[in-house]
Chains A and B, each alone.
Chain A
């Protein structure tokens, strides 16, 4: 399918916070409580529309476990957006945010748009992290913040699409050199011919080598 842009996302955060469920809710619009835990890095994709332009989101879902970080880290590079997820019912997943953020800042490109997600907000009765705390952390670190539920789908669309809007905005502002794929943005066919030199390139899977360099 043709797209104006392709954005690469990465989802990070402690294990069990609901990263895979968020992805599945976003790509398949369903909540599957019974599914396999993520080993290494997995993948999902969906088309969205921003400013009436088709945009493809390519999303990398990572395993949260510490010991896999050396591998998951390598997928940070070349990501335009990141969803940093914690579980509002488990305080320690919130406490680990700083280390995740540090990891992301260190290994991703500096223009990466990061969205902070407090997931499982359907479990309000078990809440261990207040909304204000989440907002506060986001503010301090220059992140966009949102509480979601992968179960009820609350705010899931918004989380992914708001992130895409931010990235799109940065493109419009000329912050990205979209011809440089290390920003996690690829220009495709299909109407990206506005600013920032969109409309070049092609939608195929075959760019020239070395995007990861």
Chain B
């Protein structure tokens, strides 16, 4: 890192960072600008070019919105028969800081008068000859769904046929698949990515997890903070609800030519509340909200496979559509169990029914008989939804009560830690770890039970090789113990006479002794005063031995913090030494005298923040804090001082998996800074106040949610994130030295 031309008195690092920013960031910036220009082009097109389209924009409904994405010939396929397809226009609309999605089927003025061939803009012919078809059309209309209400988007690319997406809402409801007959899925996702945080799911590469616009983490984290207070019984107002409430926003546009339908969803919601069935449904919704507040919803995206959605929507229509016209009806799918079907209806019916209600309010096309049938269905749906909301297991609810922050953000609670049984299942008959990657993944997501921690850590740290057998490890332990004893003897046999002439030794030993008595003394394992605890003596012996083993590096403050949990877990002097030595292979640069390891990590952090939170980066730049010194302690000793001891163990094993990134700790930093960005910026924290604030976070950080946020950020950043981190930035070490870390 060459020093930039920082002026006199300014530290060198700051100068070089500034320079780095200018150079390295042009690429993502350019990318962003480009995407924006694409988006605004579509916006212009929407405002000017599409006047001849089948529908025109309602004027004056909402003044301040911008259509950032339009795609024609996006279809719903209620049945497998091509004739039943409903084609429409998909749009993303930006209003203020919120993004909405609408899908409006094409209408042809008085389609209810009589079915005729409707020629649609894209040249696609679609025959919709019956009232039933028109009803379908209205049922499927997506008026305006806020991105904050979306949980995920599944993209599916069948080998034959069109790409489609399935939108799953935070409430667990899903819209039917939207088929892109003219392509454009990628662009759709790209546009969303420009306005919201879109993260590819680690579980399923076809699934993108959605969060809200602009400042997604902040919003979800605000929600998290709120849920730590008593949960509101009936969240109705938009800002305060910890769970995104359906209908919480004014709809920006109700783009139908039928003027009567141009009502905001809120109004319709009110009308719904007036009707009885509507009220019952609200109760059901509130109930499900409550449950969702208290529990984490583990989403099984597998549920939303096309086949199921297909079956569910078909079943729904089968029940609803008593006098189906010429639309062919495929035989009911026998494969899905009935109760799942019922639930499926409930899940899917919600948005559909809202739209349906809208139709009822504004159109006289449906006769009273139809309405009765519909109402029956609504009641059935209520029951189903109530069941879904209360029956733990149906939704796969996981008790989140002992965790003060439910997994609202990314929809997945961390699985339980790796236990003894499961650990054994990772080993072959001779004790080799069969699939190190799967093991690392497992630990990354769930951590390790204390009773197997002492074994598994040795693998994670690289003291044991993943491909070693039980016998090989036995041998290794014995051999390494001998080696350790020899190293230890090197300084223990220094005679007083020799010591007199060995200032470096005296000084090192003294510094170690000064520090081990100031390390984790509140822990029973190290309790006491002075050196009256045998484990304190072990800490000292290991550290002094290490300073002989790695004489060039010697001893530095912070090492005792890194060693203490290792000794506590491994509880064997020589093995703790070798585990520590293995960790130091990665972290030694943190302690280099020139601090190059720390500086490169702080530099990478500044780039990551620039990538993932530009406004915060700009703020730090403005207040001259781009050196990120306030994060120094976090990075130097891997958050050792920020969490209680138990949580430090949990965090470290996650970091040591190197599963998503070798530099996951930097994403932890970003997640924490993002979480507090509002306070940092509102209170205009500066160099010193910022350090004070960050230091005082110690002991007040929720590990689980920070891990999830960091994971989401890491996935979101993807390659661009990795590109922020120069090769060789600790804890990376060159490939050939990797030893047990590689697999």
For B595, give its contact among A71, A77, A210 (CB under 8 Å).
A71
B377 to chain A, nearest CB (A): 57
Whole-angstrom distance between the alpha carbons of A31 and B704 in the complex? 35
A194 lies within 8 A of chain B by Cβ: no
Stretch at the interface among B252-260, B476-484, B577-585, B632-640: B632-640
Q: A40 with B632: in contact, given A63-B557, A65-B556 (CB under 8 Å)?
A: yes
Mask of A66-83 contacts with B, CB within 8 angstroms, 1/0 = 111011011101100000
Whole-angstrom distance between the alpha carbons of A73 and B515 in the complex? 22
A8 lies within 8 A of chain B by Cβ: yes
For A212, give its contact among B558, B561, B687 (CB under 8 Å).
B687
- The reply to whether B557 and A68 form a contact with Cβ atoms under 8 Å apart is yes
Q: Is the interface of A mostly helix, strand, loop or mixed?
A: loop
- The reply to whether A210 and B623 form a contact with Cβ atoms under 8 Å apart is yes
Residues in A neighbouring B629, C-beta threshold 8 A: 40-41, 71, 74
Whole-angstrom distance between the alpha carbons of A35 and B520 in the complex? 8
For B684, give its contact among A16, A36, A206, A213 (CB under 8 Å).
A206
A152 to chain B, nearest CB (A): 17
B402 lies within 8 A of chain A by Cβ: no
Q: A15 with B632: in contact, given A34-B529, A37-B557 (CB under 8 Å)?
A: no
B644 to chain A, nearest CB (A): 13
Residues in B neighbouring A211, C-beta threshold 8 A: 686-687
- The reply to whether A39 and B529 form a contact with Cβ atoms under 8 Å apart is no
Residue of A nearest to B593 (CB): A67
A110 to chain B, nearest CB (A): 12
B680 to chain A, nearest CB (A): 11
A58 lies within 8 A of chain B by Cβ: yes
For B692, give its contact among A43, A70, A206 (CB under 8 Å).
A43
Q: A8 with B688: in contact, given A40-B633, A70-B11 (CB under 8 Å)?
A: yes
Most buried by B among A35, A40, A78: A40
Interface size class, chain A:
35 or more
Residues in B neighbouring A77, C-beta threshold 8 A: 9
- The reply to whether B687 and A43 form a contact with Cβ atoms under 8 Å apart is no
- The reply to whether B695 and A42 form a contact with Cβ atoms under 8 Å apart is yes
B656 lies within 8 A of chain A by Cβ: no
Q: A205 with B632: in contact, given A16-B514, A37-B519, A70-B595 (CB under 8 Å)?
A: no
B560 lies within 8 A of chain A by Cβ: yes
Interface size on B, residues (CB 8 A): 47
Residues in B neighbouring A58, C-beta threshold 8 A: 688
Residue of B nearest to A212 (CB): B687
B485 lies within 8 A of chain A by Cβ: no
A60 lies within 8 A of chain B by Cβ: yes
Residues in B neighbouring A41, C-beta threshold 8 A: 629, 632, 691, 695
For A209, give its contact among B13, B561, B627, B684 (CB under 8 Å).
B684
Mask of B609-626 contacts with A, CB within 8 angstroms, 1/0 = 000000000000011110
- The reply to whether A15 and B511 form a contact with Cβ atoms under 8 Å apart is yes
For B520, give its contact among A36, A38, A63 (CB under 8 Å).
A36
Whole-angstrom distance between the alpha carbons of A211 and B627 in the complex? 15
Whole-angstrom distance between the alpha carbons of A92 and B514 in the complex? 14
A122 to chain B, nearest CB (A): 16
- The reply to whether B624 and A74 form a contact with Cβ atoms under 8 Å apart is no
A142 lies within 8 A of chain B by Cβ: no
- The reply to whether A34 and B514 form a contact with Cβ atoms under 8 Å apart is no
Residue of A nearest to B555 (CB): A65
B521 lies within 8 A of chain A by Cβ: yes
Whole-angstrom distance between the alpha carbons of A151 and B348 in the complex? 70
- The reply to whether A212 and B556 form a contact with Cβ atoms under 8 Å apart is no
* Additional 6 contacts, C-beta under 8 A, given A16-B511, A92-B507, A207-B686: A34-B522, A68-B595, A209-B684, A209-B686, A210-B624, A212-B686
Please report B residues at the A interface, Cβ cutoff 8 Å.
9, 11, 13, 507, 511, 514-515, 517-522, 529, 556-558, 560-561, 591-595, 598, 622-625, 627, 629, 632-633, 636-637, 641, 683-689, 691-692, 695-696
Please report A residues at the B interface, Cβ cutoff 8 Å.
8, 15-16, 33-43, 58, 60, 63, 65-68, 70-71, 73-75, 77-78, 92, 107, 205-213
Query: 6 closest A-B pairs (Cβ-Cβ)?
Result: A37-B518, A16-B514, A212-B687, A34-B521, A206-B684, A40-B632
